[in-house]
Structure 1
Amino acid sequence: MSQSYVVLDLETTGNAPEQGARIIQIGAVKVEGHKITDRFSTFVDPQCEIPPFITELTGITEKDVSGAPLFEEVAEEVLTFLDGSHFVAHNVPFDKGFLKKQLALAGYQFPNCYSFDTVELSRGLLPTLDSYKLSDLTVYFDMDHSRPHQADSDAEMTAELFIYLHNKILQLPLPTLQALKKTTASLKSDWDFLIEEGIQQALKKSQFEDASIDVFRQLALKRIEDEEEEFIEEELPETYSVFEQAYFSEKGKLASQFEQYEIREGQKEMASAVYEAFSDHAHTLIEAGTGTGKTLGYLIPSVYYAKQTNQKVVLSTYSIPLQEQLLRKDLALMKQASGIQVRVAVLKGRQHYLDLRKFEEAALYSEEGSYDVQLTKAQILIWLLETQTGDVEELNLSSGGQLFWQTIQSDASSDLGRFNPWFTRCFYHRSRKQAKEADIIIVNHALLMTDVHQRRAIIPTYSHAVIDEAHHLEETAIDYFGLAVNYLSIGFSLSRLVQSVTQNKSFMNESEGFISVLNEIKEDVEELFRMLHAFVSERQTEATDVGRMSYVYRSFQEEGVLWQGILECAMRVQMNSSSVIEQLYSAIDKEKDNEPAYEERSFIANVKSMVALFEEEVTQLYELLLEYDEEFVYWIEAEPKGAKNAIYLYAKPIRVNERLADDFFATKQSVVLTSATLTVNQSFDYAQKRLGLEDFGVRTKKIPSPFSYEKQLKVFIPTDIPDVRGHNDQLFIQDVAIKLWRLTESTNKKALVLFTSYDMLKQVYQYVKDLDDEGQITLIGQGVTSGSRSRLLKLFRQANGASILLGTNSFWEGIDLAGDALEHLIIVRLPFAPPNQPLTRAQINAAKANGENPFTDLSLPQAVIRFRQGFGRLIRTAKDQGNFFIFDRRVVTTRYGKTFLASLPTTPVYEGKFEHLLEAHIHNQEEE
């Protein structure tokens, strides 16, 4: 007899029945044998007013519930529908909890049954999805969710989702189910009931039935074959010009992949420049305007050069999305069009990859862990059946899951090499092997700089590279050549080391001594960070953009008893740590000399990994507090309202040009750096200077965008907006909000608004929300609306009509909103870096010391490049039309303002009162 499940959803007037909240709608669906067999739905009279925001969310009005039955009148009917069934909801703690309390108020008892939360089940069984909201899941599964936030529709969709998830459990291989049973015992849903059903089905099947699954050491993984794909390779043309012509022609190989194909002269021009740079062993800067098609512009010559010379070419991007685009879209397109076999590898930092040995121990032999840890184990068990890379970027982990990842990620210190039974299946070593055999290696700037910084071959030997999004190379280098330690990071490494030593049987004879010293160090570290917090609190500090206190220090110039105490405590931590680290390494070596069995060797490797992590933290702490390099800026950040040890220590190089010149560009034959924004005032001087390219005879090329900006875009500068430099920020913020509201309300179009401050963004968001009292505008704010950048963009794309997306930082670039997905772009303030930030201030002082003008040589070029990146969000295709508003009057009232306008393509610029601009140009444009 098949089990019966009732999937239920409630709409209510609030969250707490004990505080007067009541049910206004009940939707329930019965599922038997993976089919919907019955439905129950009713409005309920709550005998109280429905709050406006509930009506806005659900669409349920007072009219809908007027004359509906009271809950007491439908309670028995609900219980009858639930009788003999298990309970399912999308967020069980709310729906079950609310129903249980309201039943109790009516004198009824909730039935005893198993409960299944489809939020939790989805997180565990669909570990790579961006979101687990019901509305997002229905889009992912292409369900017809016509009335979201109405109980009957939500219950129907949840039932469909539960059927899918239940089916997925029943299809899992036996080892996965057995491991899941251990990890899900402490979760909210009654996983064990469903898993046991799956185990009984799996036992009836042959364990060799599924050839796509690799079962090893009680874990099931996706089988990954290393065999070469079948490919009949064409002969490589003798000259690049023949190869290029085969792609860039009306009947060429690229044209064959598109229904409509237009030759882009700029793309051909770029491709030729890249190949010439590689052939002549020259470093080259190429600015390629939006729409050039620069990815294929550098990809095609890179592939030809790699195949022609049998040398690897490295392609480096700043963002993960562009890495994915390179691999999944552009390279796939080229391979499909080409008769050339291209071996491609994506290589990331080692911490991105799962260590299967560590995960085996955590999943199969350790039942400890918080709710987040146990759920993360379940996610990874499912993910192992799907992933080919073992890359954490594929997973959607909670913050607790991300901490757990640090205990199971790959690292050099715990690598057992040939002693590891997982070695041939190791994700990291497989990616390294693929990179060694590849023609093209895709990396990100972070790994590229790590390779330079650590001076060891993380990336296989190469001499030619293309750096895309090259305007980010300097900031990435600054980050990776810098230092950073905080109390949580060093405390985490200490706690893990103590736990690892305690649990390791090999160290039992000596562990008490080790643990005693480590606990002393822990006390000193706590005292050190408390003193640092007190030290910062006593000084005049600047506020960071996340609200922390910030203080720039020079270790041996600071004065006072408290600072002396800090230095003495730091020295004590360093000396004691060095001593115990040396003893631990000695104990590890002694154990290894005994040729231990695999289990002991594995424990030793884990201890070594923890020691190495702690050693790295202590070394950085020593360099931050007890050493000084005049080429660096050092600062402390403190949480003003946080714990008394909530301290963050940083040191970053003020310049990286010489380091890049000596350790990177001088070691490579040809590096091509490209971006849509490399020039300032049509000159590459700023980029060459900041990146250390001045002595390399670097070539430069500027390829304009093929778009007709003068026809596709208008620039508007309102004259009646308050001065951004005024003393009344509230007046400016209120005026911005009013103009945004008027623009979207009157045009019914979508607007992206770019800020330089989270605080201003949040205030504008609230003002616009208050102005839009009828809720006619879809309002999405970074840091206000919950979700990642990709989720906010998805919400914005899905919105219809008048919509506003408020963003800062990451929203200035890397966003592609073509067509009617974006028609108004607003830059609220010119994007100058805050001069009070430690690194910015140090760079300004260094420029002064060098006899440079800090504003024209540093601040202005940085802001112009940022400004151009923001501008580039608006016109993404040759068919786009858009309006660009600048709400910062400095662009026309200051001498330097013309530099910003001159950096834009030729396009009409209009000044005037906002309402006049709106009437004379925007509305007229729409009528045309």
Structure 2
Amino acid sequence: MGRKLKKYVVVDLETTGNQASRDDRIIQFAATIVEGKQIVETFSTFINPLKPVPPFIQELTSITPDDLKDAPLFEDVAETILALLDNTIFVAHNVNFDWTFLQKEMRRVGLSIPKMKLIDTVELARILYPSVDSYKLQDLADEFGFIHENPHQADSDALVTAELFIKCVEKLEGLPVAVIRKMTTIAQPLKTHLPELFFEIEMKKDRLAETLPDKWLIHRGLVIRRKQIRKPIYQTKGKLDFPESTAEKLALFKRAGAPLYARSGQFDMMNIVFQAMKEKSHALIEAGTGIGKSLGYFLPAIYFAKQKELPVIISTYTNLLQTQLYEKDVPLLSKLTGFDIQATLLKGRDHYLNLFKFEQLLYESDPQYDVVVTKLKLLIWLTETETGDIDEVNLSSGGELFWNRMKHTGWYLSEKKDPWIDFDFYKFSLEQARHADLVIVNHALLLSDHFSGRNLLPDYSFAVIDEAHHFAESARKQKSFYLSYRKVKYFMNQLGTLEKYSLLSRLEMVFPGEESLYDLDIAQVKLNEAADELFSLLHARILANQSSKKELVLIENKTNVHFDSELLYAGQNVLVLFREIEEHIGILLQKGKQEEGELKEAETVFIEEVYSFLLDWKRMRKDFEDLLQEKEQMMTVSLLADKNGALASLRIVGTLMEVERALQEDFFSQKKSVILTSATLSIHHDFSYIKKALGLEKSALIEAQIPSPFDYEENARILIPQDMPQIKGTPVADYAKALADYLSDVAVCTKGRMLVLFTATDMLRETLRFMKEKEELLEYMILAQGVSTGSPARLTKQFQLFEKAILLGTTSFWEGIDIPGEKLSCLAIVRLPFKPLDDPYTKAQIALRKERGENAFQTYSLPEAVLRFKQGFGRLIRRETDRGIILVFDNRMDTTKFGKSFLNSIPNVPTKRGEKAMILKELSDFFDTESS
């Protein structure tokens, strides 16, 4: 007789609100029964709540009062629901909500649910799919291709949750038993049924006695994915001669069989990049939107790397862009050339997992929820990752804190003490970089490696800098500093006292009775007091500041403004104690090195953890030194706080004003050929501003502007409303109301599909408030940065999911987002993107230029705004077939001399001005043409 299969009831509720403790009611109940990984039964019913359903719930669920008026009351179906739950395990997506709400409703009608085992599919998915961006049900359905006909209706949600649960169980059953065994032990503190589920699968797999597939290996009880160092092959199947002619390039494209378009601009860019490398020249190339910029430099770079048998560095602005280049462009490059391309993606070492630290942390029985879930996630991730790069993992904020204990920081003790050295991810990534044709990095790593002299990157003389308009800014960040009250307090708490579990108490366990420990304990008490005194003085200064904005320039260039003797004394006291603590920790670490042979494994890992802490501590001490020592000519130091001026929000930001000399002398002069490219490098077809910012004014350069292939004259229009109030002098609320009225009318015309770019958060929030009150926009999804939850990437994805959507964004939406096709048909620019004059860094830059007798507006404010405007403009037309309207509400574009700089720096687009009636007619005519 076979074993009886367990029965799972997958439940979803729709309710009048999310507060079970209040008077909210269930309006729909659905259950899907799962046995043996099969869906065997479904049940769903609407429920009359005997109260109005709020409009936002109706909008979210598409459940109307008509659906509910003849539906049964909860007490009419309560017994049926209890029968469905009988002898089952209760599963839901965010189980606490559904379970708590159902219990409350049962109690209300005089019934009770017997105690049940619970499984949360959010928790399960977080553990088993560590790299997924979002664990919302709709996003998981998209990720796994589940059909989700009616999101936010209980029957559809319950069915998708059941499919998700089955997929998770199948993944669990496909994992090696060694992984499940570890998970069973670690999961014990979880309050749900998961530890029991893991144990059942472990027992089942034990009975099957499976062999470990070749893709995995097991070391010291941990299962990891196999990886292999690949060395460059210079004898390749493809010809090594660079395809200079158009015919040769077309032949490559044809052979690749990829959906590539022959673009003469892209081919020109390829030739210029190859020429610059061959002639050992630096180059500035502005490549208009649609050129295919990345392939424009990748193709010549790989031919050059193969011909010369040396690496070419490819650097871009962010980790995300790095990954996109590696995953999208490198495989395409292999297809095109026929080469066996060795490309590697390299990041700073603290992006990589230290396996020895992680193994030892698994033995710690920390019951904190985020710690338990992070350990489980990483066990799964280790069976999948070949890089060990934590950017692949979606960590919670608690998980990120826990990550600090297992991130890689190199080795303090001998590498031989690390039993994982042969499998080390960081070492592997460095080895890959040493053997690569192309090494893909980000600007921060490239510049920190260069300025610090660490030499993590292979020796190189040729580099491509993509997103080059950010290169000077990235260099400035490397030469600047950032301190905050929270940061200092976080490290002080990590150090702790000689009480249980702190760094100090664990040092006491390894080095009992050491004199330095007691000196360290006294020093950290003193430092806590000294840091509080310093930040209290700073806090008093910022509260005394008359400005409504909570910021204060402490030092502007060399002029000491607010850093008086009292602050200097308090700061020096903090710095002395920082150095003292650093010295004591160094003594203890040295003792650890001397006793290296006698240390247990857990003690060895702990010494490495203390070393990691010391490295972070040294960086913070260096920031305090930079704050207190006599400043370089071009440094500004600002004190900032949140609007309420809370002590905990205090930040001290030191910014180097100019990096031209550092870049010229320490970087460009040491390289044979650096290609700098971006879609936004010129102003009015001139590179002077960017050349000065990069320190390339006096360098011999190849300069090229390659225009976009898109037909802007046919496919785009710029419309400038002339009946809006003047933004300057009009109260924010009044202007936002007028803007919301205008945008609402435009949105109806364009059926949403609109991105609105702001330069100020308060204006965005006010405009959103008024738009939410508009009846004509009730059926529109309005998403707003800083208000709607999610990163810019997540908000962009949500915007594309809805038929009628409006997206309001600030800083990060002016560049980097890609919404091709009809999903984005209207771009509204509220104000020309000049940096605010009260921003401390902007204020200091203007003062510096005035001091030199320059026109600060012409040499700084205007060029920066034009480059930003060009980035924003580039959001609209992303493909050859895209069409759209750009609305510029700032009439300075049209009424001032400098306004021409904006129009002259973008492609030729027909521009019209007028009052609202004319603007709306132009919009209607444009989109009517599109549909006809």
Q: Matched residues in 2 for 1:862 and 1:563: separation?
A: 33
Moved more, 168-177 or 296-305: 168-177
Shift of 1:550: 3.9
Q: In 2, are the aligned partners of 1:30 and 1:36 still within 8 Å (CA)?
A: yes
Is contact 1:745–1:777 with CA below 8 Å preserved after alignment? no
Question: Are 1:871 and 2:873 an aligned pair?
Answer: yes
CA contact (8 A) 2:344 2:440 kept: yes
Equivalent residue number for residue 306 of structure 1: 305
The structure 2 residue matched to 1:124, chosen from 109, 127, 133, is: 127
Q: 1:225 aligns with which of 225, 228, 235?
A: 228
Instruction: Assess if the C-alpha contact under 8 Å between 1:813 and 1:870 holds in 2.
Output: yes
Q: Report if aligned partners of 1:166, 1:194 keep a CA contact under 8 Å in 2.
A: no
- How many Å separate the matches in 1 of 2:656 and 2:232? 46
1:77 to 77, 80, 96: 80
* Distance (Å, rounded) in 2 between the aligned partners of 1:555 and 1:574: 22
> d(CA) in 2 for partners of 1:550 and 1:361?
46
Matched, 1:270 2:269: yes
**Which deviates more, 197-206 or 289-298?**
197-206
1:789 aligns with 2:792: yes
In structure 1, the residue matched to 2:579 is 578
Equivalent of 1:632, from 617, 630, 635?
635
* CA shift in 2, pair 1:262/1:540, >3 Å: same
1:446 is aligned to: 444
Q: Tell me, in whole angstroms, the C-alpha distance in 2 between the residues paired with 1:230 and 1:659.
A: 36
- How many Å separate the matches in 1 of 2:756 and 2:746? 12
Contact 1:555 1:627 in 2 (8 A): no
Superposed displacement of residue 348, structure 1? 0.8
**Residues 617-656 of structure 1 correspond to what in structure 2 (within 5 A)?**
617-641=620-644, 643-656=646-659
Q: 1:900 to 1:188 in 2, by over 3 A?
A: farther
1:465–1:500 CA distance, 2 compared to 1 (3 A) = same
Where does residue 690 of structure 1 map in the other structure?
Answer: 693
1:156-209 per-residue CA deviation (whole Å, 9 max, x = no partner) reads: 111111111122222222232232234323334221111101211231344643
Kept in 1, the 8 Å contact 2:266–2:296? The answer is yes
Displacement of 1:627:
4.0
SS at match of 1:699: strand
Which residue in the other structure is 1:911 paired with? 913
Describe the SS at the equivalent of 1:254. Answer: helix
Q: Structure 1 residue 5: deviation in Å?
A: 0.9
Contact 2:519 2:584 in 1 (8 A): no
Q: Distance between the aligned counterparts of 1:541 and 1:358, measured in 2? A: 48
Q: How does 1:735-884 map to 2 (within 5 A)?
A: 735-772=738-775, 775-800=778-803, 802-884=804-886
Once residues 762 and 552 of structure 1 are traced to their aligned partners in structure 2, the CA distance between those partners, rounded to angstroms, is 30
Query: What is the aligned counterpart of 1:531 among 533, 537, 542?
Result: 537
Are the counterparts in 2 of residues 182 and 367 from structure 1 also a CA contact under 8 Å?
no
Separation in structure 2 between the aligned mates of residue 224 and residue 246 of structure 1, nearest angstrom: 39
**Aligned residue for 1:588?**
589
Check whether the contact 1:529–1:645 (CA below 8 A) recurs between aligned residues: no
Contact 2:744–2:777 (CA<8 Å) still a contact in 1? no
Q: How does 1:511-590 map to 2 (within 5 A)?
A: 511-541=517-547, 543=549, 548-553=550-555, 563-590=564-591
Give the corresponding residue for 1:458: 456
**Contact 1:497 / 1:607 at 8 angstroms: preserved in 2?**
no
Q: Aligned pair in 2 of structure 1 residues 40, 231: CA closer, same or farther (>3 Å)?
A: farther
1:256 Cα deviation after fit:
2.8
Deviation per CA, 1:690-732: give whole Å up to 9, x if none. 1100121222111111112111111111111222223333332
Aligned pair in 2 of structure 1 residues 87, 229: CA closer, same or farther (>3 Å)? farther
Contact 1:28 1:40 in 2 (8 A): yes
Distance 1:71 1:394, change over 3 A: same
Runs of 4+ residues over 6 Å off in structure 1: 228-232, 554-560
The aligned residue for residue 405 of structure 2 is: 407
Give the Å deviation of 1:449: 1.6
Contact map agreement 1:777 1:803 (CA 8 A) in 2? yes
Distance 2:144 2:857 in 1: 53
Q: Which amino acid aligns with 2:363?
A: Y
**Alignment partner, residue 888 of structure 2:** 886
Q: Deviations over 1:386-433 (max 9, x none)?
A: 111111211111112112212211113657523211112111111100
> Structure 2 CA distance, aligned partners of 1:296 and 1:597?
52
CA distance in 2 between partners of 1:920 and 1:148 (Å) = 36
Pairwise CA distance, 1:915: 1.9
Cα offset, 1:525, TM superposition: 1.8
The whole-number CA distance in structure 1 between the counterparts of 2:232 and 2:848 is 55
d(CA) in 2 for partners of 1:629 and 1:27? 67
**Could you tell me whether the CA contact under 8 Å between 1:91 and 1:118 is conserved in 2?**
yes
Partner of 1:418: 416
**Contact between 2:243 and 2:249, CA under 8 Å: does it hold in 1?**
no
Percent identical:
38
Counterpart position of 1:374: 372
CA contact 1:127–1:380 (8 Å) conserved in 2: yes
Q: Give the TM-score normalised by the residue count of structure 1.
A: 0.95
1:780 aligned counterpart, secondary structure: strand
Q: Secondary structure at the match of 2:861?
A: helix
Distance 1:67 1:922 in 2: 43
Q: How does 1:661-676 map to 2 (within 5 A)?
A: 661-676=664-679
8 Å Cα contact 2:7-2:34 kept in structure 1 = yes
Report the Cα offset of residue 265 of structure 1: 1.2
Answer whether contact 2:469 2:681 (CA < 8 A) is retained. Answer: yes
- C-alpha separation in 2, matches of 1:640 and 1:62: 43
**C-alpha contact (below 8 Å) 1:254/1:334 kept by paired residues:** no
Contact 1:445 1:476 in 2 (8 A): yes
SS in 2 for 1:389: coil
How far apart are 1:898 and its partner, in Å? 0.9
| 8 A contact 1:214–1:223 mirrored in 2 | yes
SS state of the match for residue 553, structure 1?
A: strand
1:240 is paired with a residue whose SS is coil
509, 522, 544: which is aligned to 2:513? Answer: 509
Contact 1:484 1:648 (C-alpha < 8 Å) held by counterparts: yes
Q: Deviations over 1:359-388 (max 9, x none)?
A: 1122x2112253222222221111111111
Q: CA deviation at 1:583?
A: 2.7
3-state secondary structure, aligned to 2:116: coil
Deviation of 1:880 (Å) = 1.4
Aligned residue number for residue 314 of structure 2: 315
Structure 2 distance, partners of 1:171, 1:519, is 52
Amino acid in structure 2 at the alignment position of 1:579: E
Summarize the Cα distance change of 1:642–1:30 in structure 2 as closer, same or farther, 3 Å threshold: farther
RMSD over aligned Cα, in angstroms?
A: 2.2
CA gap 1:375/1:75 in 2 versus in 1, 3 angstroms: same
Q: Which runs of 5+ in 2 are unaligned?
A: 497-501
Partner in structure 2 of residue 478 of structure 1 = 476
In the TM superposition, what is the alpha-carbon distance from 1:812 to its structure 2 partner?
Answer: 1.0
Q: Name the CA distance, whole Å, in 1 between partners of 2:806 and 2:910.
A: 24
How far does residue 508 in structure 1 lie from its aligned partner after superposition? 2.1
The alpha-carbon deviation at position 766 of structure 1 amounts to 1.8
**SS across alignment from 1:144:** coil
Which shifted more, 279-288 or 37-46? 37-46
Contact 1:120 1:189 in 2 (8 A): no
Q: In 2 relative to 1, CA 520–365 (structure 1 residues): closer, same or farther, beyond 3 Å?
A: farther
For residues 114-148 of structure 1, the C-alpha deviation after alignment (integer angstroms, 9 at most, x for no partner) is: 10111111111111111111111111111111111
Hey, what's the Cα distance between the residues in 2 that align with 1:386 and 1:280? 43
Name the SS of the counterpart of 1:253 in structure 2: helix
Write the letter of the residue equivalent to 1:663.
D
Q: Give 1:173's aligned amino acid.
A: P
Cα displacement (A) at 1:648: 0.9
**Equivalents in 1 of 2:776, 2:136: separation in Å?**
26
Q: Could you tell me how far apart the structure 2 residues matched to 1:326 and 1:482 are?
A: 28
Change in Cα spacing, 1:571 to 1:153, as seen in structure 2 (3 Å) is: same
The CA distance in 1 between the partners of 2:447 and 2:557, in whole Å, is 27
Deviation of 1:65 after TM superposition, in Å, equals 1.8
